[in-house]
Chain A
Amino acid sequence: MKKSVFAIFTALPLLFISQPSYAYLDPGTGAFLLQALLGGVAGILVVGRLYWAKIKGFFRRSPDKSSEPLEARSVDET
């Protein structure tokens, strides 16, 4: 249910899709999310969804792994 609601939500802005940029530069997810937050409600919801996924992951992991710092985990899996 969550996935389809979100899919509809993200489809709306896609209707106003911006021009593909000719940028060579990776803007970085941090900057993207920060600006999304500044941009308004849509951004807040995106960040919210990412944090929710992170929290779910935190509880899903087995107890002896849960003390690992999250940042180290993401780096390992890159």
Chain B
Amino acid sequence: MRPDPGSFRDPSARVYQNDGHIYRTMTPAAAEQFDAVRATGLLDELERDGWLVQTQDADPSKLDLPLENGGRVLEHERIPFISYYYEWSFSALKAAALLHLRTHLRALSKGITLKDATAYNVQFRGAQPVFIDLLSFTPYSEGAIWEGHRQFCEQFLNPLILRAILGVPHNAWCRGSMEGIDSGELSRLLPFRRKLDPKVLMHVTLLSRLQALGAGDRETTLENVSKAPVLPRDRFVRMLEKLEGWIEGLKPADIGKTVWADYECDNIYDSDERAVKHEFIARVAEQHKPGLLWDIGCNTGEFSETALKSGAGYAVGFDFDQNALDSAFARSRDKSLPLLPLFLDAANPSPNQGWNEQERGGYSSRICADCTLGLALVHHLAIGKNIPLRSVVQWLMGTAPLGVLEFVPKEDSMVRQMLALREDIFPDYTAENFESYIKEKGEIVETQQTSKSGRRLYLYKRR
């Protein structure tokens, strides 16, 4: 039984994994609190509505888990692919933030509150956010403050504001500053007139100013008041509702065409060529029925959709383009697809990080796909980023035992464009080499040309 290296901040509970099962142990005190929460019916309702991860009681006697006398064990539904908020698109983060606030509001209506507000308590099933930390729920006492307020601002609100007001994606900042974006730092970046918006003034600027004020407290003023009821419930509820309304209306400031956003409509494929590509993917999905598909360079998710409709179980899409990601997320949400689009810079994937460099597993620690799609991708890495072609092929083949890779030759207009202002230092960038690199680690099962310019798909199977 392996303890989850990310589960240690809250001493009242721990998460363990074994053989595809997820367990959570609770101390007796935590179990008591959990029972009080469960008795209100809140957890069942949230689970039924798909807001909370499915959970059942587990029998501790059958499991080899460290447990106090009177402690309890729960088993949770397994989320198909774990992801972190610095890998989410703007739309995904917004959906997660709204889920958190709405869950909290529902809880308050039943006399329950949430102990914290970390983005790591939300995971995704396709485009549907789901709350996973059952022990965050605790009975509410009238007047008690919202303890998660700071965390909510740092991990949900500020990253959203960064994109909505400044047009800067949150991924790089939040990956580096794993615990969130500091309100003081954000406040210093916001233009003055933006800070005049009362919502920004309150939740960003004032919050950071009061933090500094409180840090200077030399007369233990705070110690004397911190145990008293502070915030009446109706004001608490109103504050959450106002945040909800605000976040609902947030949109990226930089909406406009990015490099590939209009790829679907305006690219080098004519519709016949595109249909050939879709057919190939559909056949592969039908024949092999991959449980988990990775679509690296998923763009707006059209090929993941095809694969899912033809027999793939669940798809994780990866892309670098923010607008394409938001389009893919919208596609997944509107069509209720089991597709989770995530931000990935293939040349710089998320590393293991956090405490002991293990708290949040990196990209390679989560490699688990049955099938990989690497469409219209290889040339961006080999030529765009100067990564040796052989290395690109090996990296891709390392993600799954089966996959479809597309080779885009130098005659193609896209590659010609990429080399237009550069010296061609890629003598080994040829289809023949591409094929031989694949054959080093596997077989080419099938191949098909998909464009007049010579683009070609390869279905590989690793040895």
Contacts and interface: CB of A to CB of B under 8 A. Distances in A.
Contact of B210 (A16, A17, A30): A30
Contacts of B139: 19
Interface in A12-52: 13-14, 16-40, 42-43, 46-47, 49-51
A57 B211 CA distance: 17
B239 A23 contact: no
Interface in B125-161: 138-139, 141-151, 153
B52 to A, nearest CB: 19
A8 to B, nearest CB: 11
Interface residues of A, number: 45
Contact of B213 (A39, A40, A50): A50
B116 interface: yes
How extensive is the interface on chain B, given as a class? Answer: 35 or more
Nearest to B33: A22
A5 interface: no
Contacts of B40: none
Given A29-B210, A30-B210, A24 B11 contact: yes
B219 interface: yes
A16 B146 contact: no
B12 A24 contact: yes
B232 A30 contact: no
A29 B215 contact: yes
Contacts of B141: 18-19
A78 interface: yes
A71 B208 CA distance: 11
A47 B219 CA distance: 13
B30 A22 contact: yes
Given A13-B229, A39-B232, A29 B222 contact: yes
B217 A25 contact: no
Nearest to A36: B230
Nearest to B224: A10
A50 B239 CA distance: 24
A50 B29 CA distance: 36
A29 B229 contact: no
B183 interface: yes
A36 B142 CA distance: 14
Contacts of A32: 145, 214, 222, 226, 230
A29 B142 CA distance: 20
A19 B150 CA distance: 21
Contacts of A75: 215
Contact of B212 (A13, A23, A74): A74
B232 A50 contact: no
Interface in B232-286: 232, 235-236, 239
A71 B12 CA distance: 35
A57 B403 CA distance: 67
A51 B138 contact: no
B185 to A, nearest CB: 12
A35 B221 CA distance: 16
A13 B224 CA distance: 10
Contacts of A14: 227-228
B420 interface: no
A72 B283 CA distance: 63
B202 interface: yes
B115 A34 contact: no
B149 A23 contact: no
Nearest to A53: B219
Contact of B228 (A13, A19, A27): A13
Nearest to A24: B10
B228 A31 contact: no
A14 B425 CA distance: 74
B230 A30 contact: no
Given A46-B225, A50-B217, A78-B215, A34 B235 contact: no
Interface of A: 7, 10, 13-14, 16-40, 42-43, 46-47, 49-51, 53-54, 57, 70-71, 73-75, 78
Given A10-B225, A29-B213, 4 more contacts: A16-B143, A31-B153, A34-B206, A71-B212
Interface of B: 9-12, 29-30, 33, 115-116, 138-139, 141-151, 153, 183, 202-203, 206-219, 221-222, 224-232, 235-236, 239
The 7 closest A-B pairs by CB, nearest first: A29-B214, A30-B211, A28-B150, A13-B228, A31-B149, A33-B210, A27-B147
23 contacts: A14-B228, A18-B228, A18-B229, A21-B147, A24-B9, A25-B9, A27-B150, A28-B211, A29-B217, A30-B210, A30-B211, A32-B145, A32-B214, A32-B230, A38-B231, A39-B232, A42-B225, A47-B213, A50-B214, A50-B217, A50-B222, A51-B213, A54-B216
